[in-house]
Amino acid sequence: MFSFFHRLIHSPIYRLVAVSFVLLLASSALTSQNQGSVTPAAAVTPSYRAGGVSIAIPPPENDLVELGNDNRVLAEVFAPDVNRLLAAFILPEEFQHFKNGGDTPLSRYSLVEVLRRAEFMDLSEKNFNDATNSIAQQTGTVVNSTVKESEEEINRKVKALSPDDTKITLDKPVMLGRFFSKPNAYGLGMIMPVSKKGGTTKMVTGLILLRVKNRMLFAYVYAAYKDQETVKWVQKTSEDWADAILKANEQ
């Protein structure tokens, strides 16, 4: 069991982080969509189906709202092929600008995904610990070996969505190391410079691995880098969100 998860995680895990930047930069591809507005979520924590089970996923912050069934399709195309998007959270005012074709990068957003091939597999606590321990030991190697692959997948998706010849370039990520490690939750961070049309945006990414109801989830917290406070915000938000998701699914 662990060897299977080990292969799956080490091939796509950092590609997932990079490919998700398409959501940040490929806004022109959404101009033809005619979806409704994003409205604040109800007080009850919504649930999403993953591997045959219902998993409650609260928003990472009160001002970030989930796109909902009508709008989530706009973000589904930005998940890498090996993943399935469960939930996408965004600032409502930024979604409107983004949907209407604005070029301003998103300042903050979050995603939750599952590995398609492992979605229905039961993940024991030992499997989870073995996987996170292995990731901790091989982080730099995995990132450095997949940046080019990530860039190619991003540009393939952008080309399919956008009529222009926009090309996205990924610079080498700066690893921030482990953010936190606790039972059923592990978080790490990176800063990824992403270039498009001569401009470069640095995004701080919090990557969270979660074991929820014996399922593996990948959650991401993104924020445009301003200063060291951005890193602190992503780290705290990542850990607080992991705790909230686990608490919402206590049995």
Residue 159 in tokens? 């080309």
DSSP 168: E
* DSSP letter for each residue of 126-160: HHHHHHHHHHHHHHHHHHHHHHHHHHHHHHHHHHH
Average of per-residue pLDDT across 53-76: 88
Cα separation, 37 vs 191, in Å, equals: 30
**Which amino acid, 243?**
D
> What was the pLDDT predicted at 221?
93
On whether the CB atoms of residues 123 and 5 are closer than 8 A, the answer is yes
pLDDT at 4 over 70: no
Contact (CB, 8 A) for 82 and 115: yes
Write the CB contacts of 3 (distance below 8 Å, at least 6 apart in sequence). Answer: none
Place of tokens 């992503």: 234
Confidence of residue 130 (pLDDT cuts 50, 70, 90): confident
Flag whether pLDDT at 59 surpasses 90: yes
Per-residue pLDDT at 103: 57
3-state helix/strand/coil string of 96-109: HHHHCCCCCCCCEE
Q: Where are the alpha helices (DSSP H) in the chain?
A: 2-10, 13-19, 22-25, 68-76, 92-99, 125-161, 228-248
Mean pLDDT of 151-171: 64
Grouping H, G, I as helix, E, B as strand and the rest as coil, residue 229 is helix
Question: Which of 46-55, 143-152, 187-196 shows the lowest per-residue confidence on average (mean pLDDT)?
Answer: 143-152
What contacts 153, CB < 8 A, 6 or more positions away?
A: 15, 18, 19, 80, 81
Report, as an integer, the average pLDDT of 89-108: 73
DSSP strand pairing (174-182 vs 185-196):
antiparallel
- Give the CA distances from residue 210 to residues 17, 182, 236, in Å, rounded to whole numbers and listed in that order: 15, 10, 16
